[in-house]
Amino acid sequence: MIDQLLFEELTDGICITDAGGTPLYLNSAAARMLEQGAGAHDTSICEQLCGRFVSGNSEYPSACPLKVPGSTEKTALNMGRCRGMDLRVRCVRLATALFDSWEIEKHFTIIEDATAEMAAERLKEDWRNMIAHDLANPLTTIYGALKTLEEIPPGQPLEEGEINLIRMCTRTSQRMNETLTLFLQVARLDSGLMPTRPEILELLPLIRECVQEQAIAAADKSISIDLVLPESLRVRADRNLLVRVLQNLMSNAIKFTPGKGRITVSATTESDGGVVAVGIRDNGPGIASEDLPFMFDRFHQVRGKGDTLIRGNGLGLAFCKQAMKAMGGDIRVESALRFGTEFRVRLGRVA
């Protein structure tokens, strides 16, 4: 008799079936995955799992190596999505007596919930595709410009249009380098390998410095930037990381704020007095509520007004989230379509 108490402690589903797949035993995890009582013996688990998979081998369960007539295979593996979960099903053919039933053949089946694992794999694939896309487009631009310049006869002076091509190559190469650098830094922050150098900072001069660096980009769109700042606030943070976070958020605000719009940068002490929040609010198109929980996920594309996708690789906000975490703070977002967006970075206050 098998030790059922041991199986009841497992998070993986455990099934013992006859050769046809009819359950003789289900542990509690398997019963939950199959959405039936632990004593249910009505339907073959082959039909309940492999036969219902949204993806994977569409010929299952009839194509299962354990069911092919004359097969000597001892094991079978199948994966697919069923009942909102990504499942990995491993079956082993046994020749032993279990549950006081002396039929020669039994199948021992392990059902693993691989939802989190598959989500991570899909994220990696999205990352690879996005990076390839973000590098392929500028490389195509640079290649086309260089081919044009290559055709200029030796010794011929460059015309204004050709000089502009060189400038375009320089700008595009710089953007590619920034994308790769940002990705590498996000990865280092993820793994805890990015060194941080916390120090006590006077926050308000740092904010004004960041705003000043964004002034030209804002002026190009006739966007006004209002400052709502107290006289003095001090925080403990890594100066370089905090500056990059604020610059990223201000740059995004300018990017998504319409011409002649308004951005407000504020700094306040929260009610308990121990946390300082820096807010960057714009009056842009806003963000759909369904996108808000995913704003800091890499490669998430946001819907704007009219449910159109706003192009971006999401690395900037992912960097902001990881950088704030590394400094012992956090970042939050509030937004609604047609009512603008506010990002708030929060850090511990130093008296």
> Counting beta carbons within 10 angstroms of the beta carbon of residue 263, is it exposed (0 to 12), middle (13 to 18) or buried (19 or more)?
buried
> Counting beta carbons within 10 angstroms of the beta carbon of residue 220, is it exposed (0 to 12), middle (13 to 18) or buried (19 or more)?
exposed
The first and second tokens of residue 263, run together, are: 């951005």
Cβ atoms of 114 and 79 within 8 Å: the answer is yes
β-pair partners for 265: 227, 280
Q: Quick check: pTM over 0.85? A: no
Report whether pLDDT(312) > 70. no
Cβ atoms of 15 and 25 within 8 Å: the answer is yes
pLDDT for residue 345: 97
Query: With bands split at pLDDT 50, 70 and 90, how would you rate the model's confidence at 311?
Result: very low
Query: With bands split at pLDDT 50, 70 and 90, how would you rate the model's confidence at 307?
Result: very low
Residue closest to 168 by CA, chosen among 140, 203, 196: 140
Residue 187 to residue 191: CA distance in whole angstroms: 6
Mean pLDDT of 63-84: 82
Return the C-alpha torsion angle 125, 129, 135, 137, nearest 10.
180
pLDDT for residue 130: 63
Spell out the domains of the chain, with CATH numbers in brackets: 4-113 (3.30.450.20), 118-191 (1.10.287.130), 198-348 (3.30.565.10)
Mean pLDDT over each residue of the chain, to the nearest integer: 82
Query: With bands split at pLDDT 50, 70 and 90, how would you rate the model's confidence at 146?
Result: confident
CA distances from 65 to 59, 107, 203 (A): 11, 12, 66
Residue 318 to residue 302: CA distance in whole angstroms: 14
pLDDT for residue 309: 43
Which range among 50-59, 122-131, 184-193, 325-334 has the greatest average pLDDT?
325-334
pLDDT in tens, 22-39: 888 888 888 888 876 544
Mean pLDDT of 38-67: 71
Lowest mean pLDDT among 180-189, 263-272, 318-327: 180-189
Report whether pLDDT(273) > 50. yes
pLDDT for residue 142: 86
Question: Which of the pair, 35 or 291, is modelled with greater confidence?
Answer: 291
Total Cβ atoms within 10 A of residue 34 = 21
pLDDT in tens, 106-135: 888 999 988 888 877 776 776 666 667 667
CA distances from 30 to 10, 11, 97 (A): 10, 9, 21
Q: Where are the alpha helices (DSSP H) in the chain?
A: 4-8, 28-34, 45-48, 115-150, 160-191, 203-213, 215-220, 239-256, 315-326
Residue 226 to residue 244: CA distance in whole angstroms: 20
Question: Which of the pair, 295 or 5, is modelled with greater confidence?
Answer: 295
Lowest mean pLDDT among 18-27, 89-98, 277-286: 89-98
Total Cβ atoms within 10 A of residue 48 = 21
Report whether pLDDT(159) > 70. yes
